[in-house]
Amino acid sequence: MSSRDDIYSVPLTTVGSFQFDSDVVRVFPDMIARSVPGYASILSVIEQLAVQYVQPGSSVWDLGCSLGAATRLIRRRVDSSVSVHAVDNSSAMIQRLQQLLPDWEPGAPVLVTESDLRQVQVTNASLVVLNLTLQFLPPEERDGVIGGIAAGMLPGGALLLSEKICFEDPRQQELMTKLHHDFKRAHGYSDLEIAQKRSAIENMLIPEPLQRHVQRLTDAGFSAVIPWFQCFNFASIIAVR
Ligand SMILES: C[S@@+](CC[C@H](N)C(=O)[O-])C[C@H]1O[C@@H](n2cnc3c(N)ncnc32)[C@H](O)[C@@H]1O
C-alpha cells in the first residue's frame, strides 16, 4: 500500500535536487497519481498496446519502470514466450519492485534490471515503454537513445513515449502550467508543496515541445508517429516501427 506523498509539505531550508530514493519510493504511486493528469489512462492504453503489438517470442522493455506499473499490466496480456524486461537505475525503486513481484497476479516472466537505460541494448522488441522517463535524460542524448531503441525493434512493433512537455508560446506555457498546478491543488497538494517540488525537479526534468518528440521519432525511422493523448503539459505518443 502506498503512503500519502507529504515529502514537500513542510518548509525546507534548502530544497535539494529531486531523487528517486527510498523516501520517494514509499509514496511513489500516490505522488504520480496526484501529479500527472491522465496517468491511469496512459497505463490502461499501455495494456491495450500489449494486446495489439506484442509478438510471440519477442521482447518487451519498460525503461524507467519505477515500481513496474506498466510491466504489471503488460505481463498479464502476453504469453510466456515473451521476455518482459523492467529496467530502472534507482536502486530504491528496483529493491521495492523485487519485493512487490511475488504478490503480482500470474503472467509472463519479468526480468528486472537495475541499470541506466543508456547501458541497455534493446533487442527483438515488439513493445517498448518510455513512460515519463526520457524527460530525465540530458536533451542532447535523447536522439541517440531513441535511435538505439528503434534499431532494436521489430518491424510493426510499437514504442509508447509519454512526457511532460513545454510550449514555445509563453502564453500557452503559462496557461498549461497554471492548469497543471490547479490539478495538483485539486488533488490535495498545497501551494508550498507545489513550489518546493517544482524547485527540486526543475533542473532534472527537462521538457521539450511535443513537435520536437514527433520529429525525433520520425527521424529515427518510425513509420507512424501518433500523439494520442495530451492533458495540459503532459503528452503521450505511439510510434510504430
Ligand atoms: C516518473 S518515473 C517513471 C514512471 C513509470 N514509468 C511508470 O509508468 O510508473 C521515472 C523513472 O525513471 C527512472 N530513470 C530516470 N533516469 C533513468 C535512466 N537514465 N535509466 C533508467 N531509469 C531512469 C527513475 O529512477 C524513475 O523510476
Asked if the model's pLDDT at residue 8 lies above 90, the reply is: no
Q: pLDDT for 176-232, tens place per residue?
A: 999 999 999 999 988 887 888 888 888 899 999 999 999 999 999 999 999 999 999
- What pLDDT shows up at residue 199? 82
Look at residue 29 and tell me if it is in a domain: no
Contact 65, 97 (CB under 8 A): yes
Q: Whose CA is nearest to atom 16 of ligand 1?
A: 136
Q: How large is the average pLDDT for residues 141-155?
A: 98
**By CB neighbour count within 10 A (0-12 exposed, 13-18 middle, 19+ buried), where does 170 fall?**
exposed
What's the domain range around 63? 39-166+204-240
Backbone angles phi, psi at 207, to 5 degrees: -80, 155
18 C-beta closer than 6 A to ligand 1: no
Q: Whose CA is nearest to atom 24 of ligand 1?
A: 64
Look at residue 173 and tell me if it is in a domain: no
Q: pLDDT for 47-100, tens place per residue?
A: 999 999 999 999 999 999 999 999 999 999 999 999 999 999 999 999 999 999
CA 121 to ligand 1 centroid distance, Å: 17
> Total domain count for the chain?
1
Closest ligand 1 atom, residue 46 Cα: 8
Which CATH number is 117's domain given? 3.40.50.150
Distance CA 46, CA 127 (A): 9
Look at residue 113 and tell me if it is in a domain: yes
- Pairing between β-strand 234-240 and β-strand 224-231 as defined by DSSP bridges: antiparallel
Closest ligand 1 atom, residue 42 Cα: 8
CA 90 to ligand 1 centroid distance, Å: 8
Look at residue 2 and tell me if it is in a domain: no
Look at residue 154 and tell me if it is in a domain: yes
128 C-beta closer than 6 A to ligand 1: no
Look at residue 25 and tell me if it is in a domain: no
Closest ligand 1 atom, residue 39 Cα: 8
Look at residue 199 and tell me if it is in a domain: no
Taking the model in full, what pTM does it have? 0.96
Q: Out of 2, 18, 122, 136, give the residue to mutate to test ligand 1, the one with the largest number of ligand atoms within 8 Å of its CB.
A: 136
Query: What DSSP letter does each residue of 95-134 carry, written as one string?
Result: HHHHHHGGGSPS-S-EEEEES-GGG----SEEEEEEES-G
